[in-house]
Amino acid sequence: MNSSLELRHGQSLRALNTFGIDATAAAYLRVTGVDDLRAMRADPALSEMRRLVLGGGSNVLLTGDFDGLVLHMANLGTAVSGEDGHSVFVTAQAGENWHAFVQWTIDHGLPGLENLSLIPGSVGASPIQNIGAYGSEVADFFHSLTAFNLDTGEMLSLTKDDCAFGYRDSVFKHGLRDRAVIVEVTFTLPKRWQPNLRYAELAAEIDARGIQSPSAKDISEAVVAIRTRKLPDPAKIGNAGSFFKNPVVSAEQRHALLAQHPAMVSYLQADGSYKLAAGWLIDQCGWKGKSLGAAGVHEKQALVLVNKGGASGAEILQLATTICDDVNASFGVMLEPEPVLV
């Protein structure tokens, strides 16, 4: 065993997942750089274990103890890494906190990421589900990333096309699932910046603050204010943000559903399909504010499942499955979980 590795056995993961699920990992490694990953692969006992890469633990549901090795990303550093005529490139290490990184870019006069303020988690996880909020998503500002290939021990350089970003989706949920550890991400931030106020609630918040030409900092503060009002703080009540993705249905299915539910909320997509509001569907089934044991549905946001205190991952999963069944029975629409089930 490599003595320089910060390895622990039987590590509690309770403080390492925002649901606050009390699960343990058979082995835990704090990863401060690629050398730790190389040393882990070189160690026969560790390289054979099942692996889970963890950043801030804000998009996972631990359904039980993890019998493998948790690789907890803790490599730090943020720097301007180049520029061209249109953009400034900024590279951040995977273990950096996402919101702190967004604030760093704004404080350094590099706007672009402000609509994504206060999303919990790490920089390294931001491409995994192409995080998005308030009319922006990471893919809009993504340039490239470097990852460690757990199968071969080689470094991978991936461009935006390689990542195959979609709605809460990327290659890291498919072909590269559990095979690549993202080590650093480079973002391209526009030299000619325009505020993005396409999201009506954000535009209204800026308006209510009496701001005519908002700066990136104004937008970030407005986003933080809206999010703080709407979303439960994981430090106070365990949750992983939206538990379900908004389902996408065909125009025909939407038409048939609207005939039965004229108040149904839907948004036209570029390909002619429609995105439905999962929160609305769940609310219609009467789940808002309800619980099953210690697992609950948030009283203000039907899309957010919460740990009301001491819930197990299995209890949260049971609630999620029951809600899915109800929505399917009422609307014929299958909801998909957004967090990764472990």
Ligand X SMILES: Cc1cc2nc3c(=O)[nH]c(=O)nc-3n(C[C@H](O)[C@H](O)[C@H](O)COP(=O)(O)OP(=O)(O)OC[C@H]3O[C@@H](n4cnc5c(N)ncnc54)[C@H](O)[C@@H]3O)c2cc1C
Binding site for ligand X (CB under 6 A): 18, 52-60, 73, 94, 119-122, 124-126, 128-129, 131-133, 181-182, 231, 234, 239-241, 340
Q: Which is nearer to ligand X, 105 or 257 (CB)?
A: 105
Nearest alpha carbon to residue 132 among 196, 211, 194: 196
Whether 168 is catalytic is yes
CB atoms within 10 A of CB 78: 17
CB of 223 to ligand X, least distance (A): 9
Please give the radius of gyration of the chain, using alpha carbons only, rounded to the nearest integer.
21
CA 16 to chain centre: 15
Residue 322 neighbours by CB under 8 Å, 6+ apart: 292
CB of 287 to ligand X, least distance (A): 18
List the catalytic residue out of 58, 117, 122, 242: 242
Q: Which residue has the tokens 């390909």?
A: 271
List the catalytic residue out of 96, 168, 220, 312: 168
How far lies 328's CA from each of 63, 149, 245, 284, 301, in Å? 23, 38, 14, 12, 19
Which pair of tokens denotes residue 172? 């890291």
User: Residue 94: exposed, middle, or buried by beta-carbon count in 10 A (0-12, 13-18, 19+)?
Assistant: buried
Q: Which is nearer to ligand X, 142 or 331 (CB)?
A: 142
CB of 28 to ligand X, least distance (A): 13
Q: Can you list the alpha helix ranges (DSSP code H) found in 166-210?
A: 200-208
CB of 62 to ligand X, least distance (A): 10
CB of 129 to ligand X, least distance (A): 5
Q: Which is nearer to ligand X, 254 or 298 (CB)?
A: 298
Three-state DSSP class for 150? coil
Q: Which is nearer to ligand X, 69 or 133 (CB)?
A: 133
Whether 220 is catalytic is no
Whether 242 is catalytic is yes
Nearest alpha carbon to residue 132 among 158, 113, 109: 113
Q: Are 127 and 172 in contact (CB under 8 A)?
A: yes
Q: Which is nearer to ligand X, 19 or 331 (CB)?
A: 19
Residues labelled catalytic? 168, 242, 338
